Amino acid sequence: MPSTLQTIPSFQDTLATQQLTLTRQSPRVLQINTGKMCNLTCVHCHVNAGPHRKEIMTLETVDRILDWLRSTSIEVVDLTGGTPEMMPHFPHLVEGVREMGREVMDRCNLTIINEPGYEWVAEFHAQHGVHIVASMPCYCPKNVNAQRGEGVFDSSIQALQTLNALGYGIDPRLKLDLVFNPNGAQLPPEQAELEADYKRELKEHFDIVFNQLFAITNMPIARFTSYLKRQGSYQAYMQLLLDNFNPASIEGLMCRDTISVGWEGDLFDCDFNQQLGMQHGEKAAPERLWELDLNDWVQRPIQLGSHCYGCTAGQGSSCGGATV
């Protein structure tokens, strides 16, 4: 039987067949991956993050990013990881961005709020008006614990209740969004319907409220690819993504208005390309964010691969959930 790479057309070929083009817009979002250190080891993680990873952003890199950001009109700084809060200079980074009047989004795994030594996280976020985007794969304990580890559901519920008590999801200044990832090799259900289910179940059983739900497709890279191959379902999953390719998703893809920067300052088109090492510049001398001319960036082609089918299947998928 031929391999997936032989049977699945390239993403570039699919765009050409559909007479579609994928081009950049003026950057609105700077997404910063602060490193791969995390207190969890989730099955779907495209970063291969975990407690024993050593990759973490230095203070020098943080300051260089802040200096570069001041010269731009970028509106949103989106912090991801790993667990961003485990980066020692996280408060310094957030304070620096907020002093510029830019929005800060933090992709929080919720459980970090309950970890010893991180008791400061919830109140710090509220004090600085950080927009929290929190992973919550389901409103049922079994599904959450299966994907993210035993006890994660209860810890996540406790964290959400802590955030609600601080005004998150209630005060318009304190946005709390949740993220759904499917538990396995399937596409997310329709986002609006799933959001209604989440809001009903979390309110009824735990008195929890939140703003929006983002439904994100599991990307066929890193740890999730290893999971698919162990299950013997990698080829079937790639075919599922191809069969559900949605041309309407192209307009809202995050790579169009987002710059992704790694923990060492390297430039990428998105966090998924980052984890695949698809950086700008040479391997021996990668281009750093603080070397970037935004006028040049807008003209560059976006680097594409078969994993891009994950963002264009069904209702589309980006860091902000469905794109159509």
**Domain assignment of residue 317, yes or no:** no
> d(Cα 224, Cα 44) in Å, to the nearest integer?
5
Residue 212 lies in a domain: yes
What mean pLDDT do residues 103-119 have? 94
Which residue in 308, 219, 258 sits closest to 18, CA to CA? 308
Percentage of the chain exceeding pLDDT 70: 91
- Looking at the structure of the chain, the number of domains it has is 1
Q: Give the model's pLDDT for residue 249.
A: 96
pLDDT at residue number 21: 95
Q: How high does pLDDT run on average in the chain?
A: 90
* Residue-number span of the structural domain to which 136 is assigned: 4-276+286-312
Q: What pLDDT digit, counting tens, does each position of 120-141 carry?
A: 999 999 999 999 999 887 787 6
Q: Report d(CA 14, CA 222) in Å as an integer.
A: 23
| Percent of the chain at pLDDT exceeding 90 | 74
The secondary element (H helix, E strand) that includes residue 204 is: helix 191-206
- What are the CA-CA distances from residue 279 to residues 35, 246, 276 (Å)? 16, 26, 8
Q: Say if residue 41's pLDDT is above 80.
A: no
Q: Which long-range CB contacts under 8 A does 125-130 form with residues at least 24 apart?
A: 125/163, 125/168, 126/163, 126/166, 126/167, 126/168, 126/174, 128/94, 128/95, 128/98, 128/104, 129/98, 129/104, 129/173, 129/174, 130/94, 130/104, 130/105, 130/106
Identify which of 176, 152, 178, 179 has the alpha carbon closest to the alpha carbon of residue 166: 176
Amino acid identity at 156: S
- pLDDT at residue number 181: 85
Supply the pLDDT for residue 1. Answer: 36
Given a cut of 50, whether residue 77 has pLDDT beyond it is yes
What distance lies between CA 51 and its chain's CA centroid?
A: 19
What is the average per-residue pLDDT within 99-124? 95
The DSSP annotation for 122-148 comes to: HHHHHHTT-EEEEE---SSHHHHHHHH
Report if residue 323 sits inside a domain.
no
Residue 223 lies in a domain: yes
* Tens-digit pLDDT profile for residues 263-310: 999 999 998 998 899 999 877 788 999 999 999 999 999 999 999 999
Q: Is residue 133 part of a domain?
A: yes
| 224 domain residue, yes or no | yes
With respect to residue 60, please indicate whether it lies within any of the assigned structural domains.
yes
Q: What is the predicted pLDDT for the residue at 146? A: 62
What integer pLDDT is reported at residue 316 of this predicted model? 92
Residue 193 inside a domain? The answer is: yes
Is the pLDDT at 113 greater than 70, yes or no? yes
Whole-angstrom distance, CA of residue 184 vs CA of residue 213: 19
Res 2 pLDDT > 80: no
pTM score, whole prediction: 0.91
For residue 261, what is the domain's CATH number? Answer: 3.20.20.70
So what's the pLDDT on residue 149?
Answer: 60
- Angstrom distance (rounded) from CA 99 to CA 137: 33
Please list the residues that pair with 321 across neighbouring strands.
318
pLDDT in tens, 211-261: 999 999 999 987 888 889 999 999 999 999 999 999 999 999 999 999 999
